[in-house]
Amino acid sequence: MIKAVTGTRDILPGDIPKWNFLESVVISNLSKFNYKEIRTPIFEETGLFARGIGESTDIVSKEMYTFLDRSGESLTLRPEMTAGVVRAFIEHSLDKKQNLNKLFYIAPMFRQERPQAGRFRQFHQFGAEAIGSNDPSLDAEMIIIAYDILVKLGLKNLQVKINSLGIPASREEYKIKLKSYMLPHFDKLSGESKKRFETNILRIFDSKEEQDQKLLIDAPLLIDHLDEESFAHFDKVKQALTLAGVPYLIDPKLVRGLDYYTNTTFEVVSQSVGSQSALCGGGRYDLLIKELGGANIPGVGFAAGIERILLACENEKSLMIGDEKIDLYIVTIEKGLENFAYKTATEFRRKNLITDLDYLSRSVKAQMREANRFNAAFVLFIGGDEFAKGELVLKNMRNGEQLIFGKDELNKICQIIKGV
Ligand code: AMP
């Protein structure tokens, strides 16, 4: 038997109401902040991600689904959305139409990571990008949007962590300090961190290895080495968060070790999802657009993992989604009336009632069981003595009340069902 590929999951009909609800909260919140949806292709030229995410990152160096297509071109299933959005922004000169573009997306991503709870190879993210302004209030806006969505989903055990990476010049100075602090301890670093020492020393802060964490306790911190402008920028982000009533914690060890990330980085973590606790992450990327061939235009964004958020909701029992129901189930009492039932069902569907009927020639009892399984609000009986007299019986399944209508009174039946 062929099964779903490791790390991928089917989202079955029973799970869809939760997904739909989450997506509706995402869309309505982002729309209130005047973000517009963008959809980009699922695969892009590999070079876009190599440049847009960084060769030295785990994503690019070991997690991408990269393949040659039949013409020999190297393509990659997108591991994140920012690079694709920025590519589209540049390709369509969106800045010519509007100075500030506020965009959002809900889309599947692909990374060949080791699957575990809350970590998949195909997963879904929603996120936003604001391209065209370096106003710190936009950095805060990202955090406020993400936080508000998570709160609307009923989540409680949330913590917003923020940090600033400053600008490359001060970061380079700081990296030299960090290197000279680490050098005497080099032998005690984990293998991965030894590599990072060379490629991008900041990312040693990302390490989960105890031996690295021990060494980092007394390490100099980037936040203490910010230039004046970055410091003021960070202050304004904090101010805006306070104005919006979003509680936050400054985490000087929260790094996104890429050269074109600047100033603010943030993460929202949940204590309800075990080791994969980050629900959402983001930051400012003022140098990325230029790096990808665009003008010198600043941007800021975030991405949040839907599977992980739903896991947190499940663990906190925060989503109270009512059982699915249908408006009407048509029970055909006797043979020979199937065509009438079919025509009636079609008419009710065209009148916007969620309607179903039997397709398996089942007994009346089995049809009633099916109506209950679908949580039908009403059942319409077709057949029996009433039908012979030109009548239809409508049963209200909530209170058992039965009403009689003429065969041609579908509008009246419809009004009763809709409660108008
Ligand atoms: P990132 O793009 O790595 O900053 O991730 C942003 C968010 O996407 C994370 O906080 C997670 O919630 C989610 N995420 C990232 N990678 C995965 C994955 N492999 N499986 C499920 N969710 C993920």
pLDDT in tens, the chain (420 residues): 999 999 999 999 999 999 999 999 999 999 999 999 999 999 999 999 999 988 878 899 899 999 999 999 999 999 999 999 999 999 999 999 999 999 999 999 999 999 998 899 999 999 999 999 999 999 999 999 999 999 999 999 999 999 999 998 888 899 999 999 999 999 999 998 998 888 888 889 888 888 998 888 889 999 999 999 999 999 999 999 999 999 999 999 898 767 778 999 999 999 998 877 899 999 999 999 999 999 999 999 999 999 999 999 999 999 988 888 999 999 999 999 999 999 999 999 999 999 999 999 999 999 999 999 999 999 999 999 999 999 999 999 999 999 999 999 999 999 999 997
Instruction: Give ranges for CATH 3.30.930.10 in the chain.
Output: 16-167+227-316
Q: How far is the CA of 305 from the centre of ligand 1 (A)?
A: 5
Instruction: Give ranges for CATH 3.40.50.800 in the chain.
Output: 326-418
Q: Which residue owns the Cα nearest ligand 1 atom 16?
A: 119
Q: Which residue owns the Cα nearest ligand 1 atom 23?
A: 305
Q: How far is the CA of 7 from the centre of ligand 1 (A)?
A: 13
Angle at 250 between CA 246 and CA 254, to 5 degrees: 115
Architecture of domain 16-167+227-316 in this structure: 2-Layer Sandwich (3.30)
| Amino acid, res. 362 | R
Give me the phi and psi of 121, to 5 degrees please.
Answer: -95, -30
Position of tokens 């790096």?
291
pTM of the model: 0.93
Q: Which of 236, 235, 270, 284 is closest to 149 using CA atoms?
A: 270
Write out residues with Cβ below 6 Å of ligand 1: 80, 111, 113, 118-120, 123, 125, 278-281, 303-305, 307-308
Q: Is 326-418 a domain of CATH 3.40.50.800?
A: yes
Q: How far is the CA of 53 from the centre of ligand 1 (A)?
A: 14
> Can you give the C-alpha Rg of the chain in angstroms?
28
Q: Which residues contact 320 (CB under 8 A, 6 or more apart)?
A: 154
